[in-house]
Amino acid sequence: MTYLNQFDLSLWLMCDSYYHQHQTLCIQLQDEHQVNVNLLLLSLWLDKQGYLLTPTDWSQMKDEVHHWEERVLLPYRKLRKLSKNSLIEGEYQQMLEVELMLERKSQALILHKLRQLPHEGQSSNLNVFLDLYRLDADEYQQLAA
């Protein structure tokens, strides 16, 4: 079985597990540095698989995902956050569910792009990915543990 077939089987389940282990740090990186959490989690998973991408591949994937999210997901997330105090709990939960659906669409876009990339990188995906945001990977090595 190739890596690309394995992506469908375990990728987002494992990323969800990583997210729950590092939720606070993931949200902090998202809020303070606009880090794409799905891509961050993907970098961790790919490192564990030994599937290294090049800095160019990471940059292209980040740009493509950001372009889609900027048009769809991020405006919706902003609306949900602004609406929090004016909605009843059930309505707010519905908004969260729609946002989760949009996150899954982002994950599908990421998976589609990932299938097009060879694994020719020379360095840790986490290091390369964090460097795109000008973050020092040494400060975030607890993510790789």
pLDDT tens column, 105-131: 888 889 888 888 888 889 999 999 999
Cα(71)–Cα(78) distance, integer angstroms:
12
Q: What's the pLDDT band for 9 if we cut at 50, 70, 90? A: low
Cα 17 to Cα 23, 39, 135: the distances in Å are: 10, 14, 23
Map tokens 């540095």 to a residue.
33
Q: What's the pLDDT band for 2 if we cut at 50, 70, 90? A: very low
Q: Tell how far CA 142 is from the center of its chain.
A: 17
Amino acid at 1: M
* Terminal C-alpha separation, the chain: 26
Map tokens 């299938």 to a residue.
115
Q: Are the C-beta atoms of 120 and 54 separated by less than 8 Å?
A: yes
Three-class secondary structure assignment of 32-71? HHCCCHHHHHHHHHHHHHCCCCCHHHHHHHHHHHHHHHHH
